[in-house]
Structure 1
Amino acid sequence: MSLNWVMLDDQEGFGQKLSIQSSAGCIHLTNQRVVYLPATRSNDFQSFSSPLLNVRDSHVSAPFFGPNVWTALVQPVSGGGISPSLPAVQLKVTFKEGGAFDFHTNFERIKERLEQAVENTSEGTRGQQNVDLSAVHLEELPAYEAPPNASQSARPSQTPEESQSSRASDTGTEPVEPPPCYEEVQSQSVAQELEERLRRAT
Protein backbone atom coordinates (compact mmCIF):
# COMPACT_ATOMS: atom_id res chain seq x y z
CA MET A 1 0.00 0.00 0.00
CA SER A 2 1.18 3.52 -0.61
CA LEU A 3 -0.14 7.01 0.03
CA ASN A 4 1.13 9.67 -2.33
CA TRP A 5 0.40 13.34 -2.84
CA VAL A 6 2.31 16.32 -4.17
CA MET A 7 0.85 19.83 -3.98
CA LEU A 8 1.73 22.14 -6.84
CA ASP A 9 2.11 25.84 -6.14
CA ASP A 10 2.18 28.41 -8.96
CA GLN A 11 4.91 30.43 -7.28
CA GLU A 12 7.15 27.86 -5.63
CA GLY A 13 6.72 24.76 -7.83
CA PHE A 14 6.38 21.60 -5.77
CA GLY A 15 4.93 22.29 -2.36
CA GLN A 16 3.99 19.76 0.30
CA LYS A 17 4.84 16.12 -0.34
CA LEU A 18 3.39 13.07 1.33
CA SER A 19 4.62 9.57 0.61
CA ILE A 20 3.99 6.68 2.99
CA GLN A 21 4.57 3.10 1.84
CA SER A 22 4.34 -0.43 3.16
CA SER A 23 5.49 -3.48 1.20
CA ALA A 24 3.14 -5.94 2.90
CA GLY A 25 0.07 -5.82 5.06
CA CYS A 26 -3.61 -6.60 5.30
CA ILE A 27 -6.56 -4.46 4.23
CA HIS A 28 -9.91 -4.79 5.98
CA LEU A 29 -13.29 -3.50 4.92
CA THR A 30 -15.92 -2.77 7.57
CA ASN A 31 -19.39 -1.30 7.22
CA GLN A 32 -17.98 2.18 7.99
CA ARG A 33 -14.31 2.31 7.00
CA VAL A 34 -11.32 0.87 5.17
CA VAL A 35 -8.49 -0.21 7.48
CA TYR A 36 -4.95 -1.15 6.43
CA LEU A 37 -2.51 -2.75 8.87
CA PRO A 38 1.10 -3.06 7.69
CA ALA A 39 2.90 -6.35 8.35
CA THR A 40 5.77 -4.45 9.98
CA ARG A 41 4.92 -1.22 11.73
CA SER A 42 7.30 1.71 11.81
CA ASN A 43 7.30 5.01 13.67
CA ASP A 44 6.07 6.71 10.49
CA PHE A 45 3.35 4.21 9.64
CA GLN A 46 1.38 2.32 12.29
CA SER A 47 -1.92 1.86 10.42
CA PHE A 48 -4.28 3.58 8.02
CA SER A 49 -8.04 3.96 8.22
CA SER A 50 -10.51 6.10 6.36
CA PRO A 51 -14.29 6.46 6.54
CA LEU A 52 -15.90 4.93 3.45
CA LEU A 53 -17.65 8.20 2.63
CA ASN A 54 -14.25 9.94 2.36
CA VAL A 55 -13.02 7.55 -0.36
CA ARG A 56 -13.65 8.75 -3.92
CA ASP A 57 -12.85 7.66 -7.49
CA SER A 58 -11.88 4.10 -6.60
CA HIS A 59 -10.99 1.70 -9.39
CA VAL A 60 -8.94 -1.41 -10.12
CA SER A 61 -6.07 -1.38 -12.62
CA ALA A 62 -5.08 -4.69 -14.20
CA PRO A 63 -1.65 -4.37 -15.84
CA PHE A 64 -0.40 -6.92 -18.39
CA PHE A 65 2.42 -7.92 -16.06
CA GLY A 66 2.23 -7.70 -12.31
CA PRO A 67 -0.52 -7.75 -9.71
CA ASN A 68 -3.78 -5.81 -9.79
CA VAL A 69 -3.88 -2.42 -8.08
CA TRP A 70 -6.82 -0.75 -6.33
CA THR A 71 -6.51 3.05 -6.41
CA ALA A 72 -8.67 5.70 -4.76
CA LEU A 73 -8.59 9.32 -3.64
CA VAL A 74 -9.05 9.78 0.09
CA GLN A 75 -10.15 13.00 1.74
CA PRO A 76 -8.24 13.37 5.04
CA VAL A 77 -10.15 13.81 8.29
CA SER A 78 -9.17 16.25 11.00
CA GLY A 79 -6.85 14.71 13.58
CA GLY A 80 -6.05 11.79 11.29
CA GLY A 81 -2.32 12.39 10.93
CA ILE A 82 -2.44 13.79 7.38
CA SER A 83 -2.05 17.53 6.98
CA PRO A 84 -5.44 19.27 6.65
CA SER A 85 -3.94 21.50 3.95
CA LEU A 86 -4.00 18.51 1.58
CA PRO A 87 -7.41 18.27 -0.09
CA ALA A 88 -6.96 14.56 -0.89
CA VAL A 89 -4.33 11.82 -0.98
CA GLN A 90 -3.99 8.97 -3.44
CA LEU A 91 -4.35 5.55 -1.87
CA LYS A 92 -2.82 2.71 -3.87
CA VAL A 93 -3.17 -0.91 -2.71
CA THR A 94 -1.39 -3.69 -4.65
CA PHE A 95 -3.03 -7.11 -4.34
CA LYS A 96 -0.09 -9.49 -4.78
CA GLU A 97 -2.18 -12.61 -4.16
CA GLY A 98 -5.30 -11.59 -6.11
CA GLY A 99 -8.67 -10.43 -4.84
CA ALA A 100 -8.59 -6.81 -6.04
CA PHE A 101 -11.81 -7.11 -8.04
CA ASP A 102 -13.63 -8.88 -5.19
CA PHE A 103 -12.44 -6.22 -2.76
CA HIS A 104 -13.58 -3.43 -5.10
CA THR A 105 -16.99 -5.04 -5.64
CA ASN A 106 -17.55 -5.43 -1.89
CA PHE A 107 -16.26 -1.91 -1.27
CA GLU A 108 -18.69 -0.38 -3.77
CA ARG A 109 -21.61 -2.44 -2.43
CA ILE A 110 -20.98 -1.46 1.19
CA LYS A 111 -20.29 2.17 0.32
CA GLU A 112 -23.51 2.38 -1.69
CA ARG A 113 -25.47 0.89 1.23
CA LEU A 114 -23.83 3.36 3.62
CA GLU A 115 -24.59 6.33 1.35
CA GLN A 116 -28.20 5.20 1.09
CA ALA A 117 -28.51 4.80 4.88
CA VAL A 118 -27.00 8.26 5.47
CA GLU A 119 -29.30 9.74 2.82
CA ASN A 120 -32.36 8.18 4.46
CA THR A 121 -31.24 9.42 7.88
CA SER A 122 -30.54 12.94 6.61
CA GLU A 123 -34.01 13.04 5.01
CA GLY A 124 -35.47 12.20 8.42
CA THR A 125 -33.45 14.97 10.09
CA ARG A 126 -34.50 17.51 7.44
CA GLY A 127 -31.20 17.84 5.62
CA GLN A 128 -28.76 18.40 8.47
CA GLN A 129 -25.21 18.27 7.12
CA ASN A 130 -23.48 16.35 9.94
CA VAL A 131 -25.11 12.96 10.29
CA ASP A 132 -24.25 10.91 13.39
CA LEU A 133 -23.22 7.52 11.99
CA SER A 134 -23.97 5.84 15.32
CA ALA A 135 -27.67 6.56 14.68
CA VAL A 136 -27.56 5.16 11.14
CA HIS A 137 -28.75 1.56 10.81
CA LEU A 138 -25.97 -0.26 8.91
CA GLU A 139 -26.58 -3.93 9.62
CA GLU A 140 -28.13 -6.22 7.05
CA LEU A 141 -30.89 -7.82 9.11
CA PRO A 142 -33.66 -10.05 7.77
CA ALA A 143 -37.07 -8.50 7.24
CA TYR A 144 -39.56 -9.10 10.04
CA GLU A 145 -42.50 -11.33 9.25
CA ALA A 146 -45.40 -11.50 11.68
CA PRO A 147 -46.44 -14.97 12.84
CA PRO A 148 -49.38 -16.41 10.88
CA ASN A 149 -51.70 -16.18 13.92
CA ALA A 150 -50.71 -12.61 14.80
CA SER A 151 -54.29 -11.41 14.34
CA GLN A 152 -55.47 -13.78 17.05
CA SER A 153 -54.01 -12.54 20.29
CA ALA A 154 -54.04 -14.82 23.29
CA ARG A 155 -56.56 -14.02 26.00
CA PRO A 156 -54.90 -12.43 29.04
CA SER A 157 -56.69 -14.83 31.41
CA GLN A 158 -55.13 -17.84 29.68
CA THR A 159 -52.39 -19.66 31.61
CA PRO A 160 -49.21 -20.85 29.86
CA GLU A 161 -50.41 -24.49 30.07
CA GLU A 162 -53.71 -23.60 28.38
CA SER A 163 -51.98 -21.65 25.62
CA GLN A 164 -49.54 -24.56 25.08
CA SER A 165 -52.39 -27.06 24.78
CA SER A 166 -54.34 -24.77 22.42
CA ARG A 167 -51.22 -24.44 20.21
CA ALA A 168 -50.81 -28.22 20.13
CA SER A 169 -54.45 -28.70 19.13
CA ASP A 170 -54.10 -26.09 16.37
CA THR A 171 -51.15 -27.85 14.74
CA GLY A 172 -52.33 -31.43 15.36
CA THR A 173 -50.73 -34.12 17.48
CA GLU A 174 -47.01 -34.26 17.82
CA PRO A 175 -45.32 -37.37 16.40
CA VAL A 176 -43.96 -39.80 18.98
CA GLU A 177 -41.36 -41.49 16.77
CA PRO A 178 -38.17 -39.74 15.61
CA PRO A 179 -38.00 -38.46 12.04
CA PRO A 180 -36.93 -41.00 9.41
CA CYS A 181 -33.27 -41.23 8.52
CA TYR A 182 -31.95 -39.84 5.25
CA GLU A 183 -31.37 -43.24 3.60
CA GLU A 184 -34.92 -44.37 4.36
CA VAL A 185 -36.44 -41.22 2.85
CA GLN A 186 -34.12 -41.47 -0.15
CA SER A 187 -35.02 -45.11 -0.83
CA GLN A 188 -38.75 -44.34 -0.49
CA SER A 189 -38.52 -41.48 -2.98
CA VAL A 190 -36.54 -43.63 -5.43
CA ALA A 191 -39.10 -46.42 -5.10
CA GLN A 192 -41.97 -43.98 -5.66
CA GLU A 193 -40.25 -42.52 -8.73
CA LEU A 194 -39.67 -46.02 -10.15
CA GLU A 195 -43.32 -47.00 -9.59
CA GLU A 196 -44.46 -43.76 -11.26
CA ARG A 197 -42.29 -44.42 -14.32
CA LEU A 198 -43.54 -48.00 -14.59
CA ARG A 199 -47.15 -46.79 -14.44
CA ARG A 200 -46.50 -44.24 -17.18
CA ALA A 201 -44.80 -46.85 -19.39
CA THR A 202 -47.75 -49.28 -19.23
Structure 2
Amino acid sequence: MIEDIILKLKGINGISTKTAEKILFDLISNDKLDDLTEVIAMINSDLSLCDKCFFVRENKKCIFCDANDRNNSKLCVVATIADGFRISKSKYDGLIHVLGGEIDLRKNILPDSLDFNSLISRVNNFKEVILAFNYTIEGEVTSNYIIKRLSTKKIKVTKLAKGMPVGNVLDYVDETTLNDAFKNRK
Protein backbone atom coordinates (compact mmCIF):
# COMPACT_ATOMS: atom_id res chain seq x y z
CA MET A 1 0.00 0.00 0.00
CA ILE A 2 2.83 2.43 0.84
CA GLU A 3 4.38 1.81 -2.58
CA ASP A 4 1.03 2.51 -4.27
CA ILE A 5 0.68 5.84 -2.46
CA ILE A 6 4.25 6.81 -3.34
CA LEU A 7 3.58 5.91 -6.97
CA LYS A 8 0.45 8.11 -7.02
CA LEU A 9 2.33 11.03 -5.44
CA LYS A 10 5.09 10.60 -8.03
CA GLY A 11 2.45 11.14 -10.70
CA ILE A 12 2.31 14.81 -9.67
CA ASN A 13 4.61 16.91 -11.85
CA GLY A 14 7.91 17.67 -10.08
CA ILE A 15 7.62 15.05 -7.36
CA SER A 16 10.35 12.42 -7.29
CA THR A 17 10.32 9.13 -5.42
CA LYS A 18 12.27 10.66 -2.52
CA THR A 19 9.95 13.66 -2.34
CA ALA A 20 6.88 11.39 -2.48
CA GLU A 21 8.28 9.36 0.41
CA LYS A 22 8.97 12.52 2.44
CA ILE A 23 5.46 13.84 1.82
CA LEU A 24 3.81 10.55 2.78
CA PHE A 25 5.83 10.04 5.93
CA ASP A 26 5.44 13.69 6.98
CA LEU A 27 1.67 13.47 6.52
CA ILE A 28 1.53 10.34 8.66
CA SER A 29 3.99 11.30 11.39
CA ASN A 30 2.90 14.92 11.85
CA ASP A 31 -0.85 14.37 11.71
CA LYS A 32 -1.34 16.69 8.71
CA LEU A 33 -3.94 14.60 6.90
CA ASP A 34 -6.75 16.92 7.96
CA ASP A 35 -4.89 19.89 6.45
CA LEU A 36 -4.34 18.00 3.20
CA THR A 37 -7.98 16.91 3.12
CA GLU A 38 -9.04 20.54 3.59
CA VAL A 39 -6.75 21.70 0.77
CA ILE A 40 -8.09 19.04 -1.60
CA ALA A 41 -11.67 19.97 -0.71
CA MET A 42 -10.91 23.65 -1.42
CA ILE A 43 -9.40 22.74 -4.78
CA ASN A 44 -12.42 20.60 -5.67
CA SER A 45 -14.98 23.21 -4.68
CA ASP A 46 -13.31 26.53 -5.54
CA LEU A 47 -10.87 25.98 -8.42
CA SER A 48 -11.42 24.93 -12.03
CA LEU A 49 -9.94 25.61 -15.45
CA CYS A 50 -11.18 28.54 -17.49
CA ASP A 51 -12.60 27.13 -20.72
CA LYS A 52 -11.44 30.22 -22.64
CA CYS A 53 -7.81 30.79 -21.58
CA PHE A 54 -7.13 27.55 -19.64
CA PHE A 55 -5.89 29.43 -16.57
CA VAL A 56 -7.40 28.74 -13.14
CA ARG A 57 -10.84 30.01 -12.23
CA GLU A 58 -11.30 30.81 -8.59
CA ASN A 59 -14.93 30.61 -7.47
CA LYS A 60 -15.96 30.47 -11.14
CA LYS A 61 -14.09 33.72 -11.97
CA CYS A 62 -10.98 33.93 -14.15
CA ILE A 63 -8.70 36.80 -13.11
CA PHE A 64 -7.87 37.33 -16.78
CA CYS A 65 -11.04 36.66 -18.79
CA ASP A 66 -13.56 37.98 -16.25
CA ALA A 67 -11.68 41.15 -15.27
CA ASN A 68 -12.97 44.45 -16.67
CA ASP A 69 -9.66 46.30 -16.27
CA ARG A 70 -7.58 44.12 -18.64
CA ASN A 71 -6.22 45.33 -21.98
CA ASN A 72 -8.20 43.25 -24.48
CA SER A 73 -5.79 43.97 -27.34
CA LYS A 74 -2.88 41.91 -25.90
CA LEU A 75 -2.68 38.15 -25.44
CA CYS A 76 0.23 36.55 -23.58
CA VAL A 77 0.79 32.87 -24.39
CA VAL A 78 2.42 30.72 -21.70
CA ALA A 79 3.17 27.01 -21.43
CA THR A 80 1.71 26.18 -18.01
CA ILE A 81 -0.71 27.38 -15.38
CA ALA A 82 2.28 28.01 -13.11
CA ASP A 83 3.72 30.34 -15.76
CA GLY A 84 0.33 32.07 -16.00
CA PHE A 85 0.28 32.51 -12.24
CA ARG A 86 3.72 34.11 -12.41
CA ILE A 87 2.50 36.46 -15.17
CA SER A 88 -0.53 37.37 -13.02
CA LYS A 89 1.86 38.61 -10.33
CA SER A 90 3.61 40.98 -12.77
CA LYS A 91 2.34 44.31 -14.06
CA TYR A 92 1.15 42.73 -17.32
CA ASP A 93 -2.34 44.09 -18.01
CA GLY A 94 -3.52 42.00 -20.97
CA LEU A 95 -5.16 38.61 -21.33
CA ILE A 96 -3.52 35.20 -21.25
CA HIS A 97 -3.64 31.83 -22.95
CA VAL A 98 -2.20 28.68 -21.32
CA LEU A 99 -1.01 26.28 -24.00
CA GLY A 100 -0.59 23.32 -21.68
CA GLY A 101 3.09 22.62 -22.37
CA GLU A 102 5.89 23.10 -24.86
CA ILE A 103 6.90 21.09 -27.89
CA ASP A 104 9.50 18.57 -26.73
CA LEU A 105 10.61 15.99 -29.27
CA ARG A 106 12.63 14.10 -26.65
CA LYS A 107 9.46 13.51 -24.63
CA ASN A 108 7.37 12.92 -27.75
CA ILE A 109 5.33 16.10 -27.14
CA LEU A 110 4.58 17.10 -30.71
CA PRO A 111 2.47 20.03 -31.94
CA ASP A 112 -0.52 17.67 -32.19
CA SER A 113 -0.12 16.92 -28.46
CA LEU A 114 -0.86 20.55 -27.54
CA ASP A 115 -4.03 22.54 -28.23
CA PHE A 116 -2.75 25.10 -30.73
CA ASN A 117 -6.17 25.29 -32.42
CA SER A 118 -7.80 27.04 -29.45
CA LEU A 119 -4.97 29.57 -29.47
CA ILE A 120 -5.18 30.15 -33.23
CA SER A 121 -8.96 30.64 -33.01
CA ARG A 122 -8.52 33.28 -30.28
CA VAL A 123 -5.76 35.43 -31.78
CA ASN A 124 -7.95 37.21 -34.34
CA ASN A 125 -9.38 39.31 -31.52
CA PHE A 126 -5.97 40.75 -30.54
CA LYS A 127 -3.53 43.32 -31.90
CA GLU A 128 -0.53 41.70 -30.24
CA VAL A 129 0.37 38.17 -29.20
CA ILE A 130 3.20 37.98 -26.66
CA LEU A 131 5.05 34.67 -26.43
CA ALA A 132 6.27 34.06 -22.87
CA PHE A 133 7.92 30.67 -23.06
CA ASN A 134 10.96 29.46 -21.18
CA TYR A 135 14.29 30.30 -22.79
CA THR A 136 15.06 26.65 -23.45
CA ILE A 137 15.23 24.67 -26.67
CA GLU A 138 11.64 23.52 -26.11
CA GLY A 139 10.44 27.07 -25.50
CA GLU A 140 12.17 28.35 -28.62
CA VAL A 141 10.77 25.51 -30.75
CA THR A 142 7.27 26.23 -29.44
CA SER A 143 7.66 29.98 -30.06
CA ASN A 144 8.90 29.39 -33.59
CA TYR A 145 6.01 27.02 -34.30
CA ILE A 146 3.47 29.63 -33.14
CA ILE A 147 5.20 32.39 -35.11
CA LYS A 148 4.98 30.24 -38.24
CA ARG A 149 1.29 29.44 -37.60
CA LEU A 150 0.50 33.13 -37.12
CA SER A 151 2.57 34.37 -40.08
CA THR A 152 -0.48 34.69 -42.34
CA LYS A 153 -2.40 36.79 -39.82
CA LYS A 154 -1.97 40.54 -39.47
CA ILE A 155 -1.11 40.36 -35.78
CA LYS A 156 2.01 41.69 -34.09
CA VAL A 157 3.85 38.76 -32.48
CA THR A 158 6.47 39.53 -29.83
CA LYS A 159 8.55 37.53 -27.39
CA LEU A 160 9.59 38.52 -23.92
CA ALA A 161 12.90 40.37 -23.94
CA LYS A 162 15.91 38.17 -23.53
CA GLY A 163 16.87 39.98 -20.37
CA MET A 164 15.64 36.83 -18.71
CA PRO A 165 18.47 34.37 -18.10
CA VAL A 166 18.90 31.75 -20.81
CA GLY A 167 17.91 28.29 -19.57
CA ASN A 168 15.73 29.79 -16.85
CA VAL A 169 12.05 29.01 -16.37
CA LEU A 170 9.37 31.57 -15.55
CA ASP A 171 8.72 29.94 -12.21
CA TYR A 172 12.10 31.18 -10.91
CA VAL A 173 12.08 34.69 -12.38
CA ASP A 174 11.46 37.55 -9.97
CA GLU A 175 8.74 40.13 -10.66
CA THR A 176 11.17 42.94 -11.55
CA THR A 177 12.94 40.85 -14.19
CA LEU A 178 9.59 39.71 -15.55
CA ASN A 179 8.29 43.29 -15.70
CA ASP A 180 11.45 44.39 -17.53
CA ALA A 181 11.09 41.50 -19.95
CA PHE A 182 7.56 42.67 -20.84
CA LYS A 183 8.68 46.27 -21.12
CA ASN A 184 11.64 45.43 -23.39
CA ARG A 185 9.97 42.85 -25.58
CA LYS A 186 10.55 43.05 -29.32
- TM-score grouping bracket, smaller chain normalisation: under 0.3
Query: What TM-score results when the alignment is normalised by the length of structure 1?
Result: 0.21
**With CA pairs under 8 Å and 6+ residues apart, which has the higher RCO, 1 or 2?**
2
Larger strand percent: 1
User: Which protein is richer in helix relative to its size?
Assistant: 2
- Higher-Rg structure is 1
